[in-house]
A and B are shown apart, each in its own frame.
Chain A
Amino acid sequence: MSWLHLFILLPLLFAVIIPILYKKIAKIHTGWFVLVVPLSIFVYLLMFLPMIAGGETAMYALPWIPAFNIDISFYVDGLGLVFGLIISGIGTLVVLYSIYYLDKAREALHNFYVYLMIFMTAMLGVVFSDNLIVLYLFWELTSISSFLLIAYWYARRQSRYGAQKAMLITIFGGFSLLAAIIMLGIMGDTFSIRELISQGGQLVQHPLFIPAMILLLIGAFTKSAQFPFHIWLPDAMEAPTPISAYLHSATMVKAGIYLVARFTPLFGGTMEWFWIVTGVGLLTLFWGALLAVKQRDLKALLAFSTISQLGLIMSLLGMGSAALYYGEGELADLHSMAVLAAVFHLLNHATFKGSLFMVVGIVDHETGTRDIRKLGGLMSIMPISFTLALIGSLSMAGLPPFNGFLSKELFFTGTLNAASLDIFRMETYGFLIPVIAWVASVFTFIYSLILVFKTFFGNYQPERLEKEAHEAPWGMLLPPAILALFVVVIFFVPNVLGEYVLEPMMASILPTLAGQFDFHIEAWHGFEPELFMTIALVALGIILYLTLKKWIGLYNHMPRVLTITNAYNSGLKGMESISRKITNAHMTGFSRDYLRYIFLIFVLVVGASLFLLDGFSFDTGNVAHINMFEIILSLVLVGATAMVVFTRSRLAAVICVGVLGYIVALFFVVLRAPDLALTQLAIETVTVALFLVCFYHLPRLRQKEEGDGFNVINMLIAGAVGTLVTLVALSANGHRLFPAISEYYLDAYELAGAANMVNAILADFRALDTLLEIFVLCIAGLGVFALVKVRLARREKNENQ
């Protein structure tokens, strides 16, 4: 147990006392107590920075289940630490923001902060875990806490729908990840990520390499809302805005990015990884940007924007993995630029998107709506919010002087580098990458303008707003202001981050190049193609924004049936109706049908295994002789049996069953079993008497006694069962492997002092059977007594009358 363990588990431990604080100290907003937790984690994690910058890493292990190689081992390197700082840093700001956002009197604050603290531990656990099983544990904990947070206002139908959708999709991905983890465990015989990476070269040859890669990527893509699993994110916007800002822009959705980055050293450098990660990333980038333009709800717009930007980071990680193909040298350095762009944009996105969500939350909080058709003209009423929104949006659009510009330029550099690749069949399709990226950036520019201009410019429409708009309190403005400050500061001094943040992150993603990164991020890098791309996109973006009214209608032509959400909904409905149909088709409630299934499966399984294992054998050598008496008995038996089946009269059937029983008793006589014959005769008599008593007391509901009519299917099933029993009996007869143990009982007189061997067995050698058989009879007798005597239902009815 190290300090790191303690700090990662601190939110979870603190969650225990949150309800107590909420109840006992009701005067102070619970959030103020909670604020201490992420802040202290942030400060603690900052202390690791110098060590990480020096190229060192640290490992803290705590045995959990040593027998299965499962330890709670936390590993601190550049990637994990920066994620940890983002989680705790933005966590602090979000808690501060939520203190002003959530009303003390009206909201169930204890629930909110408990879920949030669970989430924080889970997320820190994901990014620091070195053991894959522990990582999976925390991974699912993020899904569960996110589910709880989305449905925080559980009385709303949309919240519950969004939470269920997010749950189903991310848990689906989680199971896929678990499968990948198990495969990795089989491949490398360890669950430690570091040990797996250290044997990377040999694992490429393993047949499970590609399946594990694909399953892991499905897990990462579902969590990070990549196409086509992005559909849960817009519906998760039903969560309170601090949650949307924290989970659905800065932290949880980056868990998939983290996973891809973490496993790049293992899987990177292969063609499959390059194409899947880059391709899905670009598709998500393009699709998210395209759909964001169409949104009318500010949070939905930001959700699609997040999807798009996550796609951007994902595609950069894919492109950067080409550096591992080269290992070292000039080409490796060239392609490592994409990884630099990815980690840089990851940071930038966390700053400006968190800030934008909080500003949108402020607008929602102060005006009562998030619909851009109702908003407008808020610039002079909410000047600070407007400034923050402008900074965030322009950074998102990729304009100077904001950090988004720098990472967008690096993104273009990365795509141009990738287009020049001559491996992985890139020579054929490579040119597409910059084209798609550029078109997506145009749309990004448009929706960034929509976000800020439609909200803050234009006419103020107080009659359409639910509240009179006014500026937010400072506590709500402070967190987005801090983030916006980062947006601007990073633009002017990007290289401060270099040594302490970006380089260690790149060293984790591309370990073969660690220590030799040589980069210098500059806002001005001369008249390079990237700059012309930016100028062209700004020009086209402005033109398209000004003519927005003319072409926005095109979106309405997109058929609703073809959307992925529609496919999800109808898929869910379809599965329900199909399973209902299947259940209704075979669960008829009619015992005959169930018995038919049972008999059929019995015949098929036993018959097929006998047939397949060649178990039939008919040995006629060792059979006893048949005498006349036995033949006559057999004929009578067959006749009586036929009578039972075919007679229409129940009485005749009962009597025939009696005859059957007596014949069996006679068989016992013939086959020299006197005790059996005695018992059988006595019992058959009693049974027939019982049957007759039952008949005597039958209510005369249906005077007409009718048979069932001949049923062919039943007859076939019955015939099959009977034939199979005969075949099994005959085959068993032919398979006598060793002699019986009955010789032992011949000594019954010496052993037990009994001349009757059967009785000696029953009462001496195997007396336990007899004891329990007596119990059976007792219980049956008591049961009969209870059935006849106890009549609760009728008595209640009488009392009611």
Chain B
Amino acid sequence: MEILMSVLAGILFTAGTYLVLAKSLIRIVLGTAIIGHGALLLLLTMGGIKTGAPPLLGLESASYTDPLPQALILTAIVINFGTLGFFLVLSYRSYQELGTDDMEELRGTEDE
């Protein structure tokens, strides 16, 4: 299962990197979202995938899954969402102001 998850994370990273290297701004934002998903899966896998009960004490199970990576992932999801939302609005505003989403045209001025 860990091997499968590692490969999946690798695939997500590949796709995300490829999109981040694209010219269109919206594809770059999509790429960051995908890399984010890959990172979440990676975190979960690295915590060790044990078959046990969900980390709820009322279940009286013999073993539980590790709660710590889950807490970390929860934090990561929220932060991911915050930055992604900001990033999206930023790209939307830059469309409005600059009239393009092509990174090749968004190079700044010559004298920078």
Q: Is A583 an interface residue (CB 8 A)?
A: no
Against A, the Cβ 8 Å flags (1 = close, 0 = not) of B79-99 are 101111110111111011101
Partner of B107 from the list A589, A691, A757, A788 (CB cut-off 8 Å) is A589
Q: Are B49 and A624 in contact (CB under 8 A)?
A: yes
| Chain A residue at minimal CB-CB distance from B55 | A757
Q: Does A630 contact B (CB under 8 A)?
A: yes
Q: Is the CB of B21 within 8 A of A718?
A: yes
In the assembled complex, A634 has its CB within 8 A of some CB on chain B: yes
Question: In the assembly, what is the distance between CA of A721 and CA of B44, in Å?
Answer: 19
Q: How far is the CA of A783 from the CA of B90 in the complex (A)?
A: 9
Interface string of B1-41 (1 = CB under 8 A from A): 11111111111111111111111101100100110011011
Q: Do residues B54 and A674 form an inter-chain contact, with CB atoms below 8 A?
A: yes
Flag if B17 contacts A717 (CB, 8 Å).
yes
Contact A766 B71 (CB under 8 A): yes
Known A-B contacts A590-B107, A725-B42, A729-B10; the reply to A699 vs B95 at CB < 8 A is yes
A558 and B54 CA atoms in complex are apart in Å by 90
Q: Are B10 and A645 in contact (CB under 8 A)?
A: no
Residue of B nearest to A664 (CB): B37
Q: Let me know if A467 is at the binding interface, CB within 8 A.
A: no
A637 to B4, CA, bound (A): 12
Which residues 710-747 of A have a CB within 8 angstroms of B? 711, 714-715, 717-719, 721-723, 725-726, 729-730, 732-733, 736, 740-742, 745-746
- Is A723 within 8 A of B10, CB to CB? yes
The B93-110 residues at the A interface (CB cut-off 8 A) are 93, 95-97, 99-100, 103-104, 106-108
Which one of B7, B21, B99, B112 contacts A714 once the chains associate, using CB atoms below 8 Å? B21
List chain A positions with a Cβ less than 8 A from chain B: 588-592, 595-596, 599, 620, 623-626, 630-631, 634, 637-638, 641-642, 644-645, 650, 653-654, 657, 660-661, 664, 667-668, 671-676, 679-680, 683, 686-687, 690-691, 693-695, 697-699, 701, 708, 711, 714-715, 717-719, 721-723, 725-726, 729-730, 732-733, 736, 740-742, 745-746, 748-749, 754-758, 760-762, 766, 769-770, 773, 776-777, 779-781, 783-784, 787-788, 793-794
Contact B75 A742 (CB under 8 A): no
Report which of B9, B21, B75 forms a contact with A762, defined as CB distance below 8 A.
B75
Complex formed: what's the CA distance from A48 to B68 in Å? 79
Does A676 lie within 8 Å of B66, measured CB to CB?
Answer: no
B77 contacts A729, C-beta separation under 8 Å: no
A599 touching B17 by the CB < 8 A rule? yes
B75 touches A783 (CB 8 A): no
Q: Are A740 and B58 in contact (CB under 8 A)?
A: no
Residues A761 and B103 in contact, CB atoms below 8 Å apart: no
Q: Which residues of the other chain, A, contact B21 by a CB distance below 8 angstroms?
A: 592, 595-596, 599, 711, 714, 717-718
Contact between B15 and A641, CB atoms less than 8 A apart: yes
- Residues of chain A within 8 A (CB-CB) of B82 are 776-777, 779-781
List, in ascending order, chain B residues with CB within 8 A of A638's CB.
Answer: 8, 11
Q: Are A657 and B75 in contact (CB under 8 A)?
A: no
Contact of A784 among B10, B37, B86, B97 (CB under 8 A): B86
For window 47-91 of B, CB contacts with A under 8 Å fall at 47-58, 64-68, 70-71, 73-75, 77-79, 81-86, 88-91
Our pick among B11, B78, B103 for the contact of A679 (Cβ within 8 Å) is B78
Closest CB in chain A relative to B35 CB, distance in Å: 9
Looking at the assembled complex, report how far the CB atom of A506 sits from the nearest CB atom of chain B, in whole angstroms: 61
Q: Are A742 and B68 in contact, CB atoms less than 8 angstroms apart?
A: yes
Asked if residues A683 and B30 are in contact (CB atoms below 8 Å), the reply is no
Please give, as numbers and ranges, the residues of chain B lying within 8 Å of A668 by CB-CB distance: 44
